[in-house]
Chain A
Amino acid sequence: MLLTKELSHNRSESFQLDDVNLDIQSGEIISLVGPNGSGKSTLLKLISRLIKPDQGEVVLDGKVISTMNSKDIAKKLAMLPQTQESQSDLTVHELIEYGRYPHQKSYNRLSKDDQDIVEWAINVTNLQKYKNRLLHTLSGGERQRAWIALAIAQRPKILLLDEPTTFLDISHQLDVMELLEQLNKELGMTIVMVLHDINQAAKYSDRLIVMKNGKIHYDGIPQCVLCREMFQSVFHIDAEIHEQNGGTFFTPLKMHKEIII
């Protein structure tokens, strides 16, 4: 449902995203992992048209996105950037209403359908109690749920998230991951996210994509991707791999020192 073809982007002399080919299937949960500066966020921004590729193209449902109307893209693809502007006086409900923007005709108010979808997004994200609370009075995890609700109010087929759990404590992290899992299972929403926690990525994803220096190094199911060689070549660490309850986990041991003779 989403393809990137030979995508390249030069941000500076030292960093470039080079020839990225990616085929994302409908209904997948994909995590992008990799060291800092490996191009994960850049790739998400390219896919979501926030930046333009120097070469190559992104194809969404058979159409090249650079030729598509921006609102039409927003009806199919939603993205949550890493940081959001602080909105001191919006309520949760008002924030989620913005998700209907791509569907609204120029100056119309929210239609009955729009209202229903906003309510639905509030229910799915379990924010009923908070819907008239100001955003800045919420905890980090609740606020993140509100932003996710905004994204799903767009009724996208594919949801991109850039480090959705980074500033959250562990219980809110799991809360967000479980919400994403639920969106995927119940609504068939395709999810592509950048995650730092590789164990979390392995637990919740169908597919892991490991990036380094602007290139995709590994791409496959977590059991295949999580291996000693991957940690050595991509992260320069020695790691131990475990299998437990059908999942694959790793424990970092120490920095991997290459012995150069």
Chain B
Amino acid sequence: MEDLKTITTHPLAKKRSIIIGMFGIGIIIASVISIMIGQVTFNLYDIWDGIFQNEDTLSRRIVWDLRLPRVLIGLIVGMCLASSGTILQGVMRNPLADPGIIGVTSGAGLAATVIMIVFPAYIALVPLAAFIGALITALSIYLLSWKGGTSPVRIILVGVAINAVIGACMSALMILYSDRVQSVLPWLAGGIQGTGWRQFKMIIYYAIVALLLALYGIRHLRILRLGDEMAKLLGHHVERSRFFLIVVSTLLAGIAVSVAGLIGFVGLVVPHILRIMLGGDYKYLLPASALGGGLLVVLADTVARSAFDPIELPVGILLAFLGGPFFLYLIQRRRNTFASH
């Protein structure tokens, strides 16, 4: 009988290493494919030339100047969004927390939009503004839903309310500055079309720091999983680490928003599926989510820009198309086991 046998390894160990390994390989394959296909298709040889031959050829211009930075940005954006969602779900003890759904990204988006259309001279401050916007929103949600503890439902409701206020501010901004709106519209839809090395350089350092902080946060997330009481009893500073994790999570969301606009659902869908497959141990869940998020955005962006040729669909629209129904499905499935992660 299974039951009587002594199991010698973690029951999920094999699954975990397989999935994390597959994501690693998947990212490489997806990146190569993404660089290959498009209005002009290249083979591997062209790509090699494009990256390593410093001559002004067609492949150099498309592979190096356009597609490579876009793939890298897609990876970073996906990794940041998925990590952000994973951390937020852990901190808020809510499997449905997502920087997009509870309004953290719209907070970032509002702050970034203010810079872009009201103070266009300070465009370099967009990542910082997005981060601050995200942080203010996240902290307000957390504080407003706190009543000797938070519940998943209350966080979602407070998030929806805050989201509505931010939406109103956004609309007001659009009307007051209607002459300048055109330039931010594609950004609002959420996408990485038209991004290049400039944007890559703008976010890469922020992203490295934030992702390293996220890895450091794993230890905090793991101990918080035992529940506030148990974590406190083990001598952990619960409030302090929760604050730290919220800051890291919003930093990650802010980075993604500053370059890719309002891309939703990556932060929800990726950690959610992986939690079902790998379990909720953040030592595996967070790295797997980061990789999975990167993979998802690169793949989705490749589809979004090539499937509707000659029109490039912003990847945010495609992801919302897939993510919205998935979210509904999760609500159905989780109705009775809302907080049991």
Contact = CB atoms under 8 A, between A and B. Distances in A.
Given A49-B232, A69-B235, A132 B280 contact: no
A154 B226 CA distance: 15
Interface string B1-42: 000001111111000000000000000000000000000000
Contact of A81 (B7, B216, B230, B237): B230
Interface stretch (A22-30, A90-98, A219-227): A90-98
Given A89-B12, A91-B10, A98 B237 contact: no
B154 interface: no
Given A89-B280, A101-B223, A132 B235 contact: no
Contacts of A69: 235
Interface in A71-102: 71-75, 78-79, 81, 84-91, 94, 98-99, 101-102
A48 interface: yes
Nearest to A160: B233
B281 A90 contact: yes
Interface in B222-252: 223, 225-227, 229-230, 232-237
Interface residues of B, number: 26
Contacts of B336: none
B11 A132 contact: yes
Contacts of B230: 81, 84-85, 98
B237 A70 contact: yes
A133 B7 contact: yes
B183 interface: no
A68 to B, nearest CB: 10
B121 to A, nearest CB: 43
B9 A132 contact: yes
Contact of A94 (B236, B237, B281): B281
B226 A129 contact: no
**Taking each of B12, B229, B341, which has the highest tally of chain A beta carbons within 10 Å of its own beta carbon?**
B229
A103 B11 CA distance: 27
Interface in A90-143: 90-91, 94, 98-99, 101-102, 107, 128-129, 132-134
The main secondary structure of chain B at its interface with chain A is loop
A50 interface: yes
Contacts of A101: 223, 234-236
A114 to B, nearest CB: 13
Contact of B233 (A79, A86, A88, A128): A79
Contacts of A132: 6-11
Enumerate the 8 nearest inter-chain pairs by beta-carbon distance, A residue then B residue, closest first: A89-B279, A71-B235, A74-B235, A85-B227, A70-B235, A132-B7, A102-B235, A101-B234
Nearest to A78: B233
A72 B235 CA distance: 7
**Taking each of B7, B235, B237, B281, which has the highest tally of chain A beta carbons within 10 Å of its own beta carbon?**
B235
A106 to B, nearest CB: 8
A260 B191 CA distance: 80
B226 A134 contact: no
A74 B279 contact: no
B340 interface: yes
B274 to A, nearest CB: 12
Contacts of A102: 234-235
B232 A70 contact: yes
Interface residues of A, number: 33
A52 to B, nearest CB: 12
B61 interface: no
A163 to B, nearest CB: 14
A49 B216 CA distance: 27
Contacts of A75: 235
9 contacts: A50-B232, A69-B235, A70-B232, A70-B237, A73-B235, A84-B226, A86-B340, A89-B279, A107-B216
Contact of B281 (A48, A81, A89): A89
B98 to A, nearest CB: 21
Interface in B153-203: none
A70 B232 CA distance: 8
B334 interface: no
Nearest to A93: B10
Contact of A91 (B11, B216, B219, B227): B11
A154 B235 CA distance: 11
Nearest to A73: B235
Contacts of A81: 227, 229-230, 233
A128 B232 CA distance: 28
A103 B290 CA distance: 30
Contacts of B237: 70
Contacts of A78: 233
A78 B234 CA distance: 8
B212 to A, nearest CB: 12
Nearest to A147: B230
A132 B280 CA distance: 16
Given A89-B280, A132-B8, A74 B226 contact: no
B234 A74 contact: yes
Contact of B236 (A70, A88, A128): A70
B202 to A, nearest CB: 30
Contact of A154 (B8, B229, B234, B236): B234
Contacts of B6: 128-129, 132
A84 B227 contact: yes
